[in-house]
Structure 1
Amino acid sequence: MATPTMDKAEAAGTPEPGFADTPYITATFRIRRFNPEVSDQSEWEDFEVLIDPKERVLDALHKIKWELDGTLTFRRSCAHGVCGSDAMRINGKNRLACKTLIKDLNPDKPITIEAIKGLTVLKDLVVDMDPFFQAYRDVMPFLITKGNEPTRERLQSAEDRERFDDTTKCILCAACTSSCPVFWNDGQYFGPAAIVNAHRFIFDSRDEGGEQRLEILNDKDGVWRCRTTFNCTDACPRGIEVTKAIQEVKRALITRRF
């Protein structure tokens, strides 16, 4: 196993001589690498990085890519925990790299980082998100209304808005879907994220497409595939009660009340 290291004196952003009095530590990041142009097998590679433990895993990945190995491939965008681009498995759990602090991961031991499960790995930490977004599109995640276009804003009471408030928080990071054992074994399953986004409109009092979405989710690959393991709720970086939303969609299918 290759073990690239970063010289303390050369590392960008490290403190001046006398760094022993600073909070910097040397942490080991064990990353699962995959490059289809080199091999059809993945392998683990260790990187030792001098870093402040109050920094985030994303900061460590930047240091590795910019200073140790420019071939390391991962997605990230805003780095503020709201774009969902950098979802990955960190120490065996789905997390956002930009929200996960190194100090919360027991940096005395190697910190493992790998791509999320259930989706084809394209390179290193990057997966093919097309199946995930296709399921999202299939549930029609937009307001459906009938009749003429209104001449004023569609008003809604605070109580009606609160009914689906939780599921508006989804950032499409795929952390919930890729934590689902059913999705791991059957990529045809819509997955928690698609159901959450269907929920957001099914229970919107302004929407008139609830029946259509329920019929889509009533399919053999729809909401009934959920086994209520709560993995999705535990994995959501936005704190959405994903399992509860799925159960509410199941109830709506049975009662046709929403």
Structure 2
Amino acid sequence: MSTATLEADAPAPEIEAPKPFTVTFIIRRFDPDTDAEARWQDFDVEMYATDRILDALHKIKWEQDGSLTFRRSCAHGVCGSDAMRINGRNRLACKTLIKDLDITKPIYIEAIKGLPLEKDLIVDMEPFFQSFREVQPFLQSATAPEPGKERVQSVAQRAIFDDTTKCILCAACTSSCPVFWTDGQYFGPAAIVNAHRFIFDSRDDQAKVRLDILNDQEGVWRCRTTFNCTEACPRGIEVTKAIAEVKQAVMRGRA
């Protein structure tokens, strides 16, 4: 019998299945109907290394405490609805893997800062979206495209603002900003990023209007360039760079 035949008949090696382990989560809870102030509560959960924080929250809600409240949508890391503070950093729960955290210590989870807390991990996003709306984040052109034609734009023109088109409005950048925590009137990084996306769009004609809006005392000049926003962005947007480019455009009076 040939060696090849022996090798073909040999049983396949057994692959050991991954084993779960216990992770302690300490979650900042708040119920407006019963709590005067927020409190911390711990949960022990069986997890796998490839599980995500969102998986842990689901297991807690489904198996231990159905009153735990948080937002989430598709869980594919692009919807932005499950932004929260995980071990003191703003992250998306659906993108944060257990294996990327130090599981020898408890994992702390709380709502993002700077916005009114509604319940557990949910905040009122209206102030955030109000700032977003105020910068007029939509294309405004004085001319219509030719009938049946698209608005022409070169690759180089698109590249100028391509980075800021990636924003998913999760508020991770804005709620990581110390200025936003202390100044409820500051537009915040996300609003400026979305203004940048249209200020530098060659097809838009209202850059000057947005620059005037952001030249306000609560606009770009409130930014202290701490880079918290850039570090917090789950989409990798260079937020601080975008804010700096808007500042330069304000000083020039044009994009």
TM-score (norm 1): 0.91
Q: 2:170 aligns with which of 154, 157, 173?
A: 173
Residue 49 of structure 2 corresponds to residue 42 of structure 1 = no
Q: What's the counterpart of residue 199 of structure 2?
A: 202
Deviation at 1:131, TM superposition (A): 0.3
Looking at structure 1, the residues matched to 104 and 159 of structure 2 have their Cα atoms a distance apart, in angstroms, of 43
Q: 2:135 aligns with which of 132, 139, 142?
A: 139
Looking at structure 1, the residues matched to 101 and 215 of structure 2 have their Cα atoms a distance apart, in angstroms, of 40
Q: Which amino acid aligns with 1:131?
A: P
Deviation at 1:191, TM superposition (A): 0.0
Secondary structure of the residue aligned to 1:165 is helix
Looking at structure 1, the residues matched to 36 and 93 of structure 2 have their Cα atoms a distance apart, in angstroms, of 26
Looking at structure 2, the residues matched to 187 and 236 of structure 1 have their Cα atoms a distance apart, in angstroms, of 21
Deviation at 1:21, TM superposition (A): 6.7
Q: What's the counterpart of residue 120 of structure 2?
A: 124
**Higher Rg:** 2
TM-score (norm 2): 0.92
Q: Aligned ranges for residues 22-171 of structure 1 at < 5 Å? A: 22-148=18-144, 150-151=146-147, 152-171=149-168
Asked if the contact 2:28/2:39 (under 8 Å) is kept, the reply is yes
Q: 1:239 aligns with which of 236, 239, 247?
A: 236
Deviation at 1:54, TM superposition (A): 1.3
Q: 1:118-138, CA deviations, whole angstroms, 9 ceiling, x for partnerless residues?
A: 001100000000000000000
Looking at structure 1, the residues matched to 177 and 132 of structure 2 have their Cα atoms a distance apart, in angstroms, of 16
Secondary structure of the residue aligned to 2:224 is coil
Runs (5+) with no aligned partner, structure 2? 1-15
Q: 1:123-163, CA deviations, whole angstroms, 9 ceiling, x for partnerless residues?
A: 00000000000000000000001134642210100000001
Looking at structure 2, the residues matched to 243 and 21 of structure 1 have their Cα atoms a distance apart, in angstroms, of 44
Moved over 3 A (4+): 147-150
Percent of matched pairs sharing the same residue: 69
Looking at structure 2, the residues matched to 129 and 41 of structure 1 have their Cα atoms a distance apart, in angstroms, of 20
Asked if the contact 2:208/2:254 (under 8 Å) is kept, the reply is no
Q: What's the counterpart of residue 184 of structure 2?
A: 187
Runs (5+) with no aligned partner, structure 1? 1-19
